[in-house]
Structure 1
Amino acid sequence: MHTYCSGDASSRVHHLGLHKALCVLMGWNFSKAPDNSKAYQNLPAEEAAINQAQLIIWPPHVIVHNTSTGKGKEGRMEGFGNKTMDNRIRELGLTGGKSKSLYGREGHLGITLFKFAGDDSGLREAMRMAEYFEKINRGRKSWGRVQTRTPSKDDEKNPSLVEVDGRTGEKKRIFYGYLATVTDLDKVDMDTRKKTTIESLRELTGKK
């Protein structure tokens, strides 16, 4: 309620921006004025998801999944490092992003972030990478269908995670990627959270 009815006229625009962001995060209808006597009007799930997808992490990042390679001799998860991921992405004809592989207590998390410049050029390159994965059915929704909670040796036999080169017989991890949004803050590392903000993709691209 405070974000909507701030008494300070000079900061009202900022409060309204926060009000909109909070509503988007909660799946509420930000076009409705808050009412103490009843809860905000909830948006349909599909419309709420569309609104959330418009709030991106800035500078733009693309999250790439399935970059782990299994457990090492010491039982810790191993995966592709930054240089390897930079090379693999370049092989796909994609450029501009700087990779950062994420690690946790158990080792490699199977996630690599690609950070792009915080300007129009960086946004275009980030969107191009995300669109590449989406066009080959390896975007956000596809990853949601194939992901496994706990990596295991069975991953090597999963055709959605590993493909075999018909010519060389080499096994290669199948990458899934998408533009990082406000709903992905729990997937990125603390340092990235501290150094980024949340911006409206619709406003950045001038789309209505």
Structure 2
Amino acid sequence: MLLLLVQLFLYLCFYSYSKEFIDTQRLVNHAFMSHKVGLRAQHLGLHKAVCVLLGWDTTLPLDTVTWAPQVLPEAEAVAQKEDLILWPPIVVIHNISMSNNIPQEQKVIPMEGVLAYLRGKGFITGRVNVSLGRPADQSVMVVKFLGTFPGLANTEKLHKYFSEIKRGRVDFQRIISNDGKSSSGTKKGKEGNKMEEQLLYGYMAISEDLDKLDFNNRKWSVIKSRKEIQELANDPVKVDGR
């Protein structure tokens, strides 16, 4: 069972008071080794959550009683993080202009404007919920799709769109790391869709994005393996026991 990141923090806070776990590796080794009745699933969830967070292989050894961290190549570590998505599926959208230190260059795009923009692009055809994220200053908005296979497909489609126009997660992280300056993303902004295309960055929410959600979405979100969901979708339906 996968744990919410909040649960991970609670575990870490609890164990931080124990001299037995003086470093992360000993904590994760304990989580793997523990066989306490009724707590095995929670410990394995903690083991996986910490490994994903630190870029370690989450595969559990079957023929040993000890565990040692195996550092994954960067590409594999990123893929492992991106596999743990929030469910129901969510796309986090940032208005990059709101991080500008010059108030006159901040361009507010209301939730209705974001929704209209996405509908105009053909990414939203069914039921979705658009709400303010954290902080609730119009800089972060979350678009929650239905927890269904079509809902996941629409989420992935929108995620791919932002990535292809260089407005995805990597692009957002790069621009905000530029000394906190985002003026280069606001000077080109114009009215209508041009402004949205210049100012909005988006990506599918994964476990580390929980802190970007508002209280209600964070409360009702769980973490699921994207790979396992896709395998379930592709699994042939058995008829008459065959």
TM-score using structure 1 length: 0.74
- Distance between the aligned counterparts of 1:81 and 1:169, measured in 2? 12
- The one of 75, 98, 118 equivalent to 2:129 is 98
The one-letter amino acid of 2:209's match is: D
Q: Report which of the two has the higher share of strand.
A: 1
Are 1:64 and 1:113, in contact at CA under 8 Å, matched by a contact in 2? yes
Are 2:132 and 2:142, in contact at CA under 8 Å, matched by a contact in 1? yes
Q: Report which of the two has the higher share of helix.
A: 2
- Distance between the aligned counterparts of 1:24 and 1:59, measured in 2? 20
State the partner residue of 2:53.
25
State the partner residue of 1:172.
195
Using the TM superposition, give the Cα deviation of residue 131 of structure 1 relative to its aligned residue in structure 2, in angstroms: 1.0
Using the TM superposition, give the Cα deviation of residue 11 of structure 1 relative to its aligned residue in structure 2, in angstroms: 6.4
Task: List per-residue Cα deviations over 1:48-84 (Å, max 9, x = no partner).
Answer: 121111111111100111165689xx99x77322222
State the partner residue of 2:93.
64
The one-letter amino acid of 1:123's match is: L
Q: What is the RMSD computed on CA atoms of the aligned residues? A: 3.7
Structure 2: any 5+ residue segments left out of the alignment?
1-28, 233-242
State the partner residue of 2:207.
182
Alignment identity in percent? 31
State the partner residue of 1:126.
155
- Distance between the aligned counterparts of 1:188 and 1:144, measured in 2? 17
- Distance between the aligned counterparts of 1:111 and 1:53, measured in 2? 20
State the partner residue of 1:196.
221
Using the TM superposition, give the Cα deviation of residue 130 of structure 1 relative to its aligned residue in structure 2, in angstroms: 0.6
Structure 1: any 5+ residue segments left out of the alignment?
none
The one-letter amino acid of 2:218's match is: R
- Distance between the aligned counterparts of 1:191 and 1:2, measured in 2? 33
Using the TM superposition, give the Cα deviation of residue 189 of structure 1 relative to its aligned residue in structure 2, in angstroms: 2.8
